Amino acid sequence: MTQSGQREITLLASNHETIVRDRYRLKCGTDGDFLMTLSDLANIAEILGGIAVVASLVYLAVQIRQNTSTVRNSTLQSNTALWTSVFCNLAEPSIAEAYAAGLSGKADIKPLHYTQFFLLCRGMFVAFENQYYQFCQGTLDRETYEGYERTISSQILVFPGFRIWWKQCRDVFSPAFVEHIDAMISDVPEGSADMLISEWQSIARDKTSTA
């Protein structure tokens, strides 16, 4: 190769290097120019990609929290509507009569009252079981669930009739729920059928005497 040919190749290589360098040259603003290589661009892209991943995770966490809150609110509303309906129905005279006869646990209960009380208990304990698993799965918060449990213990499981029904029908429920209700019953002394009205009368008399 002639000397002039070598100079031409050298010149072309120098021009190509200048073009590549100029293509990735950025202005610093005060200190002149600096070169940004392909490696630098790759690093920036990697950083931006990491930021995008973090932002996506934050967004997903917010969405999950909002969805959990929505599910819990819906569960609470459903349970509130359920028990409001149950207690309002129990106030109906014919149902209230069967309920009172059943919770006393007396052997001479009328067949009609027994049937009504049996079905009432079946519906109520199905609701108990549903709430128990809602709590276990995290869709019913602890504070709300513990409030339900206090009501169940002090106003339902305490009475002889409910204990008789549970002994009669406990095998139709899931083992975990049966164990849970058994533990609740063992923690609550059995009361008499008139214990709530007796408590009412006692409070009313005390209030009258101090008036």
pLDDT at position 72, please?
Answer: 65
Which residue matches tokens 């509303």?
A: 77
DSSP state letters, 62-99? HHHHHHHHHHHHHHHHHHHHHHHHHHHHHTSHHHHHHH
Please give the Cα distance from 140 to 143 (Å, whole number): 9
User: Is residue 125 within 8 Å of 164, Cβ to Cβ?
Assistant: no
* Token code pair at residue 185: 């019953």
Q: How far is CA 127 from the centre of its chain?
A: 17
pLDDT for the residue numbered 141: 85
d(CA 163, CA 105): 8
**Which letter does DSSP use for residue 117 in this model?**
H
Residue found by looking up tokens 């002039």 in the block:
4
138 dihedral zone (left: phi>0; alpha: psi -120 to 50; beta):
left
Residues contacting residue 105 through CB under 8 Å, at least 6 positions apart: 159, 160, 161, 163, 164, 193
User: What residues in the chain have per-residue pLDDT under 70?
Assistant: 1-38, 40-42, 59-73, 76, 79, 211
The model's pTM: 0.64
* Per-residue pLDDT, 14: 52
Give the separation between CA 158 and CA 175, rounded to whole angstroms. 21
Structural contact between residues 183 and 189, judged by C-beta atoms closer than 8 angstroms: no
Task: Give the DSSP letter of residue 139.
Answer: S
Dist. CA 124–CA 179, nearest whole Å: 17
Q: What is the pLDDT of residue 167?
A: 96
Question: Where are the chain's structural domains?
Answer: 3-36, 72-209
Residue with tokens 């019913």: 140
Which pLDDT belongs to residue 27?
44
pLDDT at 73: 65
